[in-house]
Amino acid sequence: MDIKSLVSRMTLEEKISLLSGADFWTTTPVQRLGIPALKVSDGPNGARGANFRGGMTSACFPASVSLAATFDRDLAARIGKALAEETLTKGANVLLGPTVCLHRDPRGGRNFESFSEDPYLAGELATQYILGLQREGIGATIKHYACNEQETRRFTIDARVSERALREIYLKPFEIAVKNAHPWVVMTSFNLVNGEHSDSNKQLLDILRSWGFDGLVMSDWGGVNSVAPSLNAGLDLEMPGPPNKYSPSMVLAALENGEVSENTLNARVEALLRLLERTGKFASPEIPEERAVDSPEHRTLIRQAGAEGIVLLKNKNGALPIQKDRVKSVALLGFSKEYLGHGGGSAQVNSHRRITPYEAFEAAVGDSIELRYAQGAKAMRNLPVLSSNLMDDEGNPGATLHVWRMSDIDEGGTKANVAEAFFVSNEKSDATAATMTATFIPTITGNHYLGFSTVGNTTIFINDEPVFRYEGNYPDVMAFLFGVATEEKKQYYFIAGQEYRIRIEAKSAQDTTSGLETYALNIVGFMLTFMTEREHDGDLLSEAVETAQSSDVAVVFVGNTPSWETEGVDRESMDLPRDGSLDRLIAATAAVNPNTIVVNSTGTPITMPWLESVSAVLQTWFPGQEAGHAIVDVLLGKVNPGGKLPVTFPKSIADALSYGNFPGNLDELKVEYAEDVFIGYRHFDRRPEGVQFPFGFGLSYTTFELHNATAVPDLMSDNHGSIDVAVDVTNTGSLAGSEVVQVYVGPATSSVLVNRPIKELAGFAKIWLEPHETRRVPILVTMDSAAYWSEALSAWAVDAGAYRIYVGTSSVDIKCTLDFEVAGGFSFLP
């Protein structure tokens, strides 16, 4: 297709219309010229489709951190291919993934959605994920460019980072994926980088194109902060539509004032047209209806990938796998009946299947083992929304919602099923208010619990008496939007069978801190929650302890639900929720049962005060819709665990070098990346006493030996910039299994730049071996692994001197070292 010719036939108004979406998920068509619309869908671990909550079901794949734990490039490509097939079922041609921002701090709310603390590992797996998608004709959207390592004030925070750290750490996974996989779309982040919003950061977008990127640059949803600066920097598409900054009047004004040239406008339009061509939209312009297709092949792949990402952290005296022929009873405690397949936010999908560990155990053991369940602890973030025993104004189940706007007066009522509402207005002068009314008839007498959260200016009455009141603007609308706002809680005495008239009155509030004004200036939101006194205060721990004490094995399932680990909110600590209740459950169980196994489902490291007292620990991440099956496959030995940690597990949050600079100075809206290039294991190599479990670590049910390592040649130069490393790997155990060979490189003499990390990941390979089998594993080490970013040269530099190659099975468990020499220093451009 001659794209330039097509652009030449467009009117100015038609060109401008293509700069922004038509609605929340589609681009704008130009019917006169046969330019179709294109639909996109969230990702990155499942194609959700148009609905945020509920709606049509979708396949839920393991979170990216779980995929990273496999250290398996081929598996990442297979996941990408399956996600392409899922995207088509939702009528979309672009998936909004993968996310490659790094795990700078263990408290990052969206870490689970990203791969790793290491840029090389993240870039390598993202490359294969993207290739898998795009071979099927579905565009990948690598995001969020750049430095979106926290959720706190993500719309307005300014990430202050050195040029060296930017190049070596935070841009590196993007660079690797852009050069090797050529993603068709890049999504900019909300935050500022060194004083400039990412969408208008010309330095960042020039760097992106210097790598050879020729795709489309789109904004995150609501993430455009200017007109001319963003257009000139290279932001092609504002999402969602209708436009906020790229409106016809504002773009026309910029053109007329000479702030933007028509050549620049044409370049932005051409980028969208190339994307339409690459995704085949000109040949197939229709947007199909969404479908829910529960593919057996995808079930199998998700189960396999989930199991392969599980990391065995501890296995004292061979506590795992559980031997079905030796165990008569197993206590399944904690979250065993919870589905923890994904985190919260835009990565969340309405899963086709939601397999819990309890269900999977039942299917796997049948009557051969007695399963005994006890919950043991409550770890909910907020109380459940009040939804039962409500009658609306007409006597039907539910509540009645009235909304008033100056431009849209609602004379009637709207049916609501729960005591919860959230809506917005983009008009500055549009005074918005709402009331919700219902009759509540409790079924149990007691001093029950009510909870209340709001975006502001809301009062809740029971029988005309105020019970909750919040005046002014709530400081974190993002937290409310994702259902995790701080909840005010109190007890209220109810009598069973008596009618209680509930009235909620809310006036519009303004979001003064989150930066959501791109979506809305007037916001109304409130939530009323409820739990009976008996449910809230009941003793769950005693029953769990009794169950554990009478069982041969006790498996305690803990982790973070989507409300505890979610987009929009960072975690306050590394501790398990809530208020130590899950930690107490583990400790109490271990005190009465020496065969206590902990299964932790989080996307980030946790503190483990009970580690010494338990027999085994599995880190399962968020393994997708087949979560229960994947976990039980490992617990029972159907799958030999081969996952490796893609992040370091510190002993405490204070051991992380980012601790004092996360989430930053919120008064000044700045976060200093003061640790520079020393994130993750790069820091802990210098402070090993702070490590609970190192990067790359993971046990197996078998054992391996690495030997006979070689590196050829032993000299690197600008003319010969690679070294072939090889090592023999032998499975010395009695079970088939996998091992990940990891190669690190670091300077060995002081003549090399002194403030470099001791070593950095330079290559890896996953290998499957039968018992007593030996295979030789080759890994190529390139000059990139010996280079650092020279701010003086604005180039990559390799200093002269001696370098060391570390070959091992984690960043700490190094089996052998090899040396090579750089005789003369040299530099090279990206």
> Tokens in use for 255?
């053109």
Give the three-state DSSP class for 713.
Answer: coil
Active site residue 220: yes
Q: DSSP string of 625-658?
A: TTHHHHHHHHHTTSS------SS-EESSGGGSTT
For residue 613, with 0-12 CB atoms within 10 Å meaning exposed, 13-18 middle and 19 or more buried, which class applies? middle
> Tokens in use for 557?
């399932």
Residue 329 near residue 372, CB atoms below 8 Å: yes
CA distance 240 to 222: 7
Residue tagged active-site, from 72, 118, 220, 799: 220
Cis peptide before 296, with omega less than 30 degrees from 0? Answer: no
Q: Which amino acid is at 378?
A: K
Closest by Cα among 637, 54, 60, 626 to 356: 626
Closest by Cα among 769, 825, 781, 770 to 806: 781
Q: Which positions ≥6 away from 106 have C-beta within 8 Å?
A: 571, 574, 604, 605, 647, 650, 653, 656
CA distance 788 to 805: 16
Residue 45 near residue 63, CB atoms below 8 Å: yes
Cα angle 70, 74, 80 (rounded to 5 degrees) comes to 95
CA distance 237 to 220: 10
> Tokens in use for 482?
């994702």
Residue 472 near residue 512, CB atoms below 8 Å: no
Bridge partners (DSSP) listed for residue 806: 744, 817
Q: Which positions ≥6 away from 436 have C-beta within 8 Å?
A: 399, 400, 401, 402, 416, 419, 421, 502, 503, 504, 506, 526
Residue 658 near residue 679, CB atoms below 8 Å: yes
Token pair 């210097």: residue: 210
Residue 371 near residue 356, CB atoms below 8 Å: no
Q: Which positions ≥6 away from 176 have C-beta within 8 Å?
A: 119, 120, 122, 123, 124, 126, 127
Residue 350 near residue 58, CB atoms below 8 Å: yes
CA distance 633 to 291: 30
Residue 741 near residue 729, CB atoms below 8 Å: yes
Closest by Cα among 778, 680, 741, 538 to 72: 741
Residue 601 near residue 624, CB atoms below 8 Å: no
Q: Which positions ≥6 away from 563 have C-beta within 8 Å?
A: 344, 380, 381, 382, 482, 483, 484
Active site residues: 220
